[in-house]
Each structure stands twice: as C-alpha cells, then as structure tokens.
Amino acid sequence: MRHMILLCFLMLLPCGFARPRPVAQKSNLLLSFLDPKHAQAWLERFFFIKSKTAHKHTMEELLKKMQEFYNLEPTGTLDDKTVEIMKLPRCGMPDVSEYTTFEGSPKWKKNSLTYRIINTTSDLPQDKVESILAEAIKVWSDVTPLKFTKTTDTADIDIYFARDEHGDNYPFDGVGGTLAHAFAPGKGLAGDAHFDDDEYWTEDDEGTSLFIVAAHEFGHSLGLGHSKSHGALMYPTYSYKKQKNYKLPTDDVKGIQKLYGKKRS
C-alpha cells in the first residue's frame, strides 16, 4: 500500500529551556512563485492529479485545480490571489476535495492507540510540549471511541522534531513553507507525525501554534486528508486558533466519525 503523507525531523535531545526566535533559510519554493519553475514545483507537490493515461497535466490545468479548491476564479494563471495562497505556511500533505480519507489507506483497525514522543523542541519546556501534544490528540478522542495512551515503548504513532532531511525522503524546508507532515494509518512509519524544528513553536500566536499544527497532523495520522472547508482543522493552510476551550469544527467531526463512529456515552 502506498502511503500518502503530509509534507501540512533530525532527532534532537529534549530541552527544557526556551530559545530565541530562530533565523533560518526560507524555503526555495517561497522565493518567487512568479517564477513558473517554483510554481510548477508547488503545484506538483500539492495538486498532483492521477491520470489513467500517460497524459501529463499542464501547469494551467494544475492551477485551475488549485484555484477551484481554494474557491478562487479558475483562470489557470498565476494571479496575485493565487500566489498569496501559495506563500501561506501549510501542511505538507497534498490537497484533496472536502474531508476525505487517504485513498487506498485503511483506518486503524483498533480503537486503543499508543503514541510516543521521541524528542521535543527547545522552543518550549519539555513538559509543556508533552501537555500540548496530549491536548492536540485529545480533540479526536473527544468525538470518537478512540483512546490514546502515551508510552515510551514501541507505539502506533511516533512524534518527533527535526530539520531538513530526516530519514523519510520528505525533507523540511526551513522557516515557513511546510510546517509538519504525518503518515496515514498502517505499519512502520505509518501514523507517525514529524514537525519542522526550524519553525518557532509556541502555545500562542507569537510563533507557530504547536497545538493547532499537531491536532491537524494527528488527523492525518488517523486517516483524514485535507478539507476545502475554510474553517476546518484539516484545511491545508495554517491559521492560529486558541487552544483553550477549542472545539473541533463540524466538518472535521463528520470526517473522523465516518471512519471511527461517534463517541459512546
């Protein structure tokens, strides 16, 4: 089975001290989307269209697909609104229509899942990172029969932070661009969630909210793809939302309950 991943880690030792905001190189894909080569690379990464024939989709066709997804006028040209969308920080997984599961990938065949935190970012104290990740994964168990247990042994979902190339052939790209990625349910790397440690991870809007990105990635770990509903957690691009009293949007609830059913009273 071919696993699809989010592209929305070299392993670092846990550290309990916050660090200054990092200075890192911007993603090459963000340098100039008006350059057709950069735009083409972005489109092929996030809007790859399968074809039953040997037909190779043109840049215009890919642009129209992308513009339709983001509710833009499907001009097939690199207009200002299209370029602005391309520049937004986002998840690294390809985009698909509405809430959906990974094509050809099964859901977890059990409701009791384990997760293991391999390392943490030095942007936040270790205990804070662990509590944020626990709250992020809890948004999914709040509306389904799923139960998550943190462990230090072999786990269904491994979580870690890294920079650049980190062993899964999907290297991170520095500050901005893709923030994290996660694998669909299954064996091996499947289910694992990786976070780009070149980002400045925070618990508020001073940097990138670890809670929001982690909750999104765990949706992928459970089998959800991207939603084109702008208010959904599984929308591809990043936007800050407060962690306190966070409520999973209806679109995401429908998607996850389609896979695992409703939470039993």
Q: Is 192 annotated as a binding residue?
A: yes
Question: Does the annotation place 166 within a ligand binding site?
Answer: yes
Asked whether 208 and 179 are in contact (CB, 8 A), the reply is yes
Contact 14, 97 (CB under 8 A): no
- Residue 205 annotated as binding site: no
The tokens describing 155, both together, are 């786990």
For 151-178, what is the HEC assignment? CCCCCCEEEEEECCCCCCCCCCCCECCE
Q: Is 80 known to sit in a ligand binding site?
A: no
4 has binding-site annotation: no
Q: How far apart are alpha carbons 232 and 7 in whole angstroms?
A: 19
| 204 has binding-site annotation | no
Question: Which one, of 72, 125, 96, 41, lies nearest residue 219 by Cα?
Answer: 96
Residue with tokens 């070149």: 198
Q: What are the structure tokens assigned to 17, written together?
A: 């001290």
Tokens read off for 134: 């626990």
Which of 17, 185, 198 has its CA nearest to residue 115? 185
Q: Is 95 marked within a binding site?
A: no
Residue 91 labeled ligand binder: yes
Active-site annotation holder among 61, 68, 73, 217:
217
Please say if 217 is a catalytic residue.
Answer: yes
User: Per the annotation, does 103 bind a ligand?
Assistant: no
Q: What DSSP state is assigned to residue 74?
A: -
197 assigned to a ligand binding site: yes
40, 100, 142, 221, 251 from 133: Cα distances, Å: 34, 23, 14, 13, 22
- Sheet containing strand 112-117, edge to edge, reads 147-150, 112-117, 157-162, 193-196, 180-182
Tokens 């370029």: give the residue: 83
For residue 168, say whether it is annotated as part of any ligand binding site: yes
- Which residues does the annotation place in the binding site? 91, 123, 156, 166, 168, 173-174, 181, 192, 194, 196-197, 199, 216, 220, 226, 234
What residue numbers does the annotated binding site for Zn(2+) cover?
Answer: 91, 166, 168, 181, 194, 216, 220, 226, 234
Active site residues: 217
Extract the annotated binding site for Ca(2+).
123, 156, 173-174, 192, 196-197, 199
